[in-house]
Amino acid sequence: MSLFSKNLEKVTVQLKSKHQFQTAGFIIAKQKGFYKELDLDVKLIEQKIGENTLNKVFEERVTFGVENTAVVLETVKGKPFVALMALFQKTPYVLVGLKSSGIKDIEDLDKKVLAVNGHEDISILAMLKVFDTKYEEHDLIYNEHALLTNHVHMKPTYSVNRLFDYKEKGLDLITIDPKDHGFEFYGDILFTSKSVIKDKPEMVRKFYEATIKGWKYAFENIDETVDLIYKNFNTLNRTKKSLYYEANKIKKLSEYGQSFGEIDLEKLQAISLLYSFVKKGKYNIRRLDNFIYKKEETPVSDKNIHHRLAKLLVEPLYEMNSGHIQQIFNLYLYERKNVKAIQVYDNYLNRYIYTSFNENGEIKHLDMSDFPERHTKSENIAKANIEYKNKKIGEVIVYFDDLKRVDKYKKYLLEKKSYQDMCRS
């Protein structure tokens, strides 16, 4: 057994779909080791028709779930849920039907058969209610057969993937998009129960951070992510063309680079009010006050930081990928206002690897020629050797801007011979 082995905390996630790009962030976080680096063993459970994710999370049969705005409805009705993030900042749902139905827009839906019984997402339900549509209700359907046989005129579907599938089959479609009528609400909300938040706050924080990191990696590396899903997680037998279509649609609706992952209380309140308009029931909108996960950074002791660094640095740097190296950097960067730069010397490559910050506090990598001379003063430095199999393979140096912070880091680092020693302490 490895000196650094440790029991991982088991976590289960009920996904919103079968594996496809819609689950890419979770897949990447698991496959790239983002969860494992934070001592989590995450099991991803694909969706099965008829399963109730809300009940599974409420009964704690799973740790986390992904659901549409129905999780907001259940919260104002009294279920103790907490939302961590929303993948979609704008609803992915649209109504889809065949052009041969004669439907052109929402005004044409009177007396038409719509497969919306059992559909809980607010965007489509509110749109139909506001336009006072007199439609005939049909149970939800999960394929196009009822459309082709004219048993149903329109059904809700995910615009990010199913529309592509229908078009590839040669179907001549008409869509009605709630977003075109002012209904732009969340989709694929990642949530858990309040009891999990209370009992395991550190686990929740780790899971949240690794999942966000997974989604960011997926969006920044679409080619790699599509290839991974296509080869190893292609439950639905999607083509690469369809996965690329889905990836770009999801990235757009997630508003990546703008408000990705965010959840706004006022928007939640609007969703709740629309539910009270569409569905009769007793709702308490104040229950939303504690619905949004508070992403406060948990203080991490110096010793814990160094223990985690030790785990990461038991492999030679030349065997690490850039994500692994950045994990090392991130552990030192809990207090960005104090740590200004990090330098790693790799004996094997006979060169330095660095990182520093720009004015926005974002990490950037620098050549030695760009490295600020003022950081290289010895009194600003804390450092330690990196060893692998009892052989020195390099050293890591942390440059501080605030001299008051140097002593306690330097004292801890310099009294240890190596990062392995840190783990033993």
State which of 126, 149, 181 marks the end of a domain. 181
Q: What is the pLDDT of residues 106-124, one digit of tens each?
A: 999 999 999 888 778 888 9
Taken in order 145, 146, 150, 151, the sign of the CA dihedral is: positive
If you average pLDDT over residues 85-103, what whole number do you get? 93
Same domain, 74 and 155: no
Same domain, 251 and 329: no
In this prediction, residue 282 has a pLDDT band, given cuts at 50, 70 and 90, of confident
Residue 293 CB contacts under 8 Å (≥ 6 apart), including other chains: 82, 83, 84, 85, 197, 204, 208
Q: Helices in 221-295 by DSSP H: which ranges?
A: 222-232, 240-253, 265-278
3-state class (DSSP) for residue 14: strand
State the CATH number of the domain containing residue 229: 3.40.190.10
What is the distance between the alpha carbons of residues 236 and 179, in angstroms, rounded to a whole number? 27
What is the distance between the alpha carbons of residues 188 and 22, in angstroms, rounded to a whole number? 9
Same domain, 65 and 213: yes
Per the CB < 8 A criterion, the answer to whether 61 and 91 are in contact is no
Sheet holding 154-158: strands in order across?
A: 136-139, 113-117, 154-158, 93-98, 173-176
Per the CB < 8 A criterion, the answer to whether 425 and 303 are in contact is yes
β-strand pairing of 113-117 with 136-139: parallel
How far CA 121 is from CA of 27, 73, 259, 391, in Å, comes to 25, 9, 21, 58
Residue 347 CB contacts under 8 Å (≥ 6 apart), including other chains: 392, 393, 394
Dihedral angle over CA of 245, 250, 253, 255, nearest 10: -120
H or E segment and range at residue 190: strand 187-193
Domain of residue 368 covers: 302-424
At residue 273, φ and ψ (nearest 5 deg) are -65, -35
What is the distance between the alpha carbons of residues 303 and 309, in angstroms, rounded to a whole number? 10
Sheet holding 40-45: strands in order across?
A: 40-45, 9-14, 64-67, 187-193, 81-88
Count how many domains the chain has: 3
The pLDDT value given to residue 49 = 83
What is the distance between the alpha carbons of residues 165 and 155, in angstroms, rounded to a whole number? 15
pLDDT at 373 over 50: no
- Mean pLDDT over all residues of the chain? 77
2 falls within a domain = no
Per the CB < 8 A criterion, the answer to whether 96 and 121 are in contact is no
User: 313 or 8: which carries more pLDDT confidence?
Assistant: 8
4 falls within a domain = no
Same domain, 74 and 43: yes
In this prediction, residue 332 has a pLDDT band, given cuts at 50, 70 and 90, of very low
Same domain, 337 and 205: no
142 falls within a domain = yes
The pLDDT value given to residue 242 = 95
State which of 155, 181, 207 marks the end of a domain. 181
| CB-count burial class (<10 Å; 0-12, 13-18, 19+) for 102 | exposed
Same domain, 375 and 389: yes
Q: What is the pLDDT of residues 1-42, one digit of tens each?
A: 333 446 899 999 999 999 999 999 999 999 999 999 999 999
Angle at 47 between CA 45 and CA 53, to 5 degrees: 85
DSSP state of 28: H
Q: What is the pLDDT of residues 238-260, one digit of tens each?
A: 999 999 999 999 999 999 988 89
- Output helix, strand, coil percentages for the chain, rounded to the nearest 5: 45, 20, 35
Same domain, 177 and 190: no
The pLDDT value given to residue 150 = 79
297 falls within a domain = no
Q: Taking the model in full, what pTM does it have?
A: 0.68
Closest CA relative to residue 76, chosen from 289, 311, 248, 295: 289
State which of 290, 320, 349 marks the end of a domain. 290
If you average pLDDT over residues 281-289, what whole number do you get? 87
Same domain, 73 and 192: yes
How far CA 254 is from CA of 29, 191, 215, in Å, comes to 18, 17, 10
